[in-house]
Amino acid sequence: MRNAMAFLLFLAALSTLILLTSVRLRRYARLPYPPGPRPRFLIGNLRDIPVHLPWLTYTEWGKKYGEILHARIFGEHIVILNSVKVAIDLLEKRSSTYSDRPTIPMLSLMGSDFNFGFMPHGDKWRKYRRMFHQHFRKEAIPDYRPTQVRKIHDLLRRLVATPEDFYVHIKTLAAGIIMAITYGHEVQTTQDRFVDLAHEVNDKVAAGVQPGAFAVNSFPFLRHIPAWIPGCGGFHEFARDTRIVIAEHLDAPFDFVQKNMRDGAYTTSMLSKILERIELHGGSVAEEQVAKEVAAVTYSAGFDTTSAAVSSFFVAMARNPDVQRKAQAEIDNIIGISRLPIFEDRPSLPYVEAVYRELLRWRPPVPLGVPHAVTQDDLYDGYLIPRGATVFSNIWAMMHDETTYPDADKFIPDRFLAPEGTPNKHGDDTMLVFGFGRRICPGRYAADAALWLAIVSILSALDIQQAKDAAGNEIEVDPVWTDAIISYPVPFDCSVNPRSEAAKKLIEETKMDT
C-alpha cells in the first residue's frame, strides 16, 4: 500500500511538472524573438551573417530593428545587444543566466578548451579564473609597474632607433610586458619562438571560432565523421595542425620556467610563484597542468589586445595632430620636460585621460566582445531569448551611438571632459570594452595601466605624424582593420620622431635604468 501511494504521488508530481512545462512552452511559443532580418527556410540567416567587420553590419541592423537583434543559423540562435542599457540589463543584472559561453566544437578539436575565456561557467572555470585572479587583481597590479615602465621605455628607444619599424615595436612592447610578467622571459625582438607561437595560436583559434567558418560549429555531430568523408576533411585537418602548435605553445615556455627554477637562474614571474606554491603544498601534476594552461591563456589574451589598442593610438595621433599637441601641452605644463611620465601623474592629466578613453571608444579592440550563452529561456521587453542562444555585446555600436557620442566616427577626446576640464560621467562607459558581468576581463587592471602609461609616455617624448612621399606630400593614414575577434589596423605608414633633443636625451637615459 505504501509503495502504491508513493507511486501515485510520483505520477501526480510528474503530471504537474509536464503540465507546467507544457503551459510554459505554450506561453513562450506565443512570444516573438527579438527583431532581425527575415530567416530563410532551413538555413535561417546564414547568408545575412556578415564575415567582414560584422559589428558594422550589426550596428546598421540596429538602426532598422532596434537595440536588441535576433538571427539564426540553421537551428542556432544569435542575439546581438546594441545598447549599453540592454547589455547591463541582461549581462550584468541577470548574470546568472548570461554567464555561460557557447559550445564551440572546434575549441576542443583544436585542443584549446583549456582557455578559460571560452570555458563554460562552472567549477572548472572558477578554478582557472581564481588562479589567474590571484595575480591580476587590482591590488596586485602595482607589483608589475617596474616591468611595464621598463618595457615602455624599451619601446621609446626602439622608436627613436628605427621609427620605420614602429608597427613591429608595438608588438614587441605587448609581447615583452606580458612575457616578462607571466614567464620571466625577456623578449628582445618579435623573432622569438614563444612570441611566434602565441601569435600563431591566436590566429588559428580566432579562425576556428569565427561564426560560419566551419560547419562542425553549427552541426557538432560532424566531429564524429571521419576526415576521409567528403566535406569533413577540412576542419579535421585544421584542428590537427592547430593542436600541434597549441601543444608547443603550452609546453615550451612552461619548460623554460621549470628548467630555470631547477637551475636557480630564474626571474620571479606569475608562473614561478604558482609553481613554488604548488611545490610547497605538495601539489600534483594535475595542478601543474592547470598552472601551465592559465599561463598560456594569460599571454595569449594580453598580447593582441594591447597591440591593437596601441596601433590604433598611432592612427589616431597621425590623423589628429591638434589632439596630439593639446595632450603634449598638458604634459609639458604638469610634468615638464625634465622627466618622463610615471603612474602617479595620471590624476593630474585629465586631457590625456580623455585621449585614452576616446581611444577605447573610437576603436575598441574587441568590437563584439566575447560571446555569452543563455542557460535558460529568458524574457526581455516582450521578447523570448531562448536557452542556448549565443549573445554578442556589440561594443562598437554602444561606443558609436550618435545620441551619446555625436560625430562618433571622429576622434574627439573633449567629449569625456566637463566644461571645467575635469572628467565627465561618460568616462566609465568606455570601460565596457572589458566586458560585462561575471565574464568581465580579469586582466583589465593590468591592461588599463600598461596602455595608459604607453600612451602618455609616447605623447611626452615623440611626435607621430603622417608620412610623406618622395614629393613631400603627406600620405593619408587610413588603414584597414582586421575582422577577427580582436580587431587591429593592418600595417600602415607614419612618421615617428623625438619631440626635441631634450626628449631624445631623456629616452636615451632610460637605458641606464634597465
Query: 3-state DSSP helix/strand/coil percent for the chain, to nearest 5?
Result: 60, 10, 35
The grid coordinates listed for 463 are 611626435
205 sits in which H/E element: helix 193-209
> How confident is the chain (514 residues) per 10-residue block, as mean pLDDT?
42 43 49 94 87 93 96 91 96 95 92 92 93 94 95 96 94 92 86 85 85 78 79 83 94 94 90 92 87 91 88 97 98 95 96 96 94 96 96 96 95 93 75 90 94 98 93 88 89 95 94 70
Find out whether 306 and 455 touch, Cβ atoms under 8 Å: no
Q: Each residue of 397-430: pLDDT tens digit? A: 999 999 999 999 999 999 999 888 888 876 666 7
Backbone φ/ψ region at 121: left (φ over 0), alpha (ψ -120 to 50), beta: beta
Contacts of 155 (CB under 8 A, 6+ apart): 169, 170, 172, 173, 454, 457, 458
DSSP labels for 344-390?
GGGGG-HHHHHHHHHHHHHS-SSTT-SPEE-SS-EEETTEEE-TT-E
DSSP labels for 394-428?
-HHHHHT-TTTSSSTTS--GGGGB-TTSSB-GGGG
Q: Which one-letter DSSP state was computed for residue 465?
A: E
Q: Which one-letter DSSP state was computed for residue 482?
A: P
232 is in an annotated binding site: no
Backbone φ/ψ region at 100: left (φ over 0), alpha (ψ -120 to 50), beta: beta
Find out whether 388 and 103 touch, Cβ atoms under 8 Å: no
Query: What's the CATH architecture for 31-513?
Result: Orthogonal Bundle (1.10)
Closest-CA residue to 489 (of 371, 319, 346): 319
Find out whether 273 and 184 touch, Cβ atoms under 8 Å: no
Task: Give residue for cell 619631440.
Answer: 499
Q: Is 310 exposed, middle or buried (0-12, 13-18, 19+ CB in 10 A)?
A: buried
Find out whether 490 and 496 touch, Cβ atoms under 8 Å: no
Q: 266-270: list long-range contacts, CB under 8 Å, 24+ apart.
A: 266/184, 267/180, 267/184, 267/186, 268/184, 269/180, 269/181, 269/182, 269/183, 269/184, 269/185, 270/135, 270/181, 270/182, 270/183, 270/295, 270/298
Closest-CA residue to 254 (of 214, 298, 305): 298
Q: Which residues pair with 497 in a beta bridge?
A: 463
Q: What pLDDT, on a 0 to 100 scale, did the predictor assign at position 500?
A: 94
Q: How far, in Å, are 62, 203, 390 from residue 65 at the CA level?
A: 5, 33, 18
Contacts of 368 (CB under 8 A, 6+ apart): 54, 55, 58, 392, 393, 394, 395, 396, 485
Q: What pLDDT, on a 0 to 100 scale, did the predictor assign at position 129?
A: 95
Q: How many residues does the chain have?
A: 514
Task: Give residue for cell 588562479.
Answer: 131
Find out whether 457 and 341 touch, Cβ atoms under 8 Å: yes
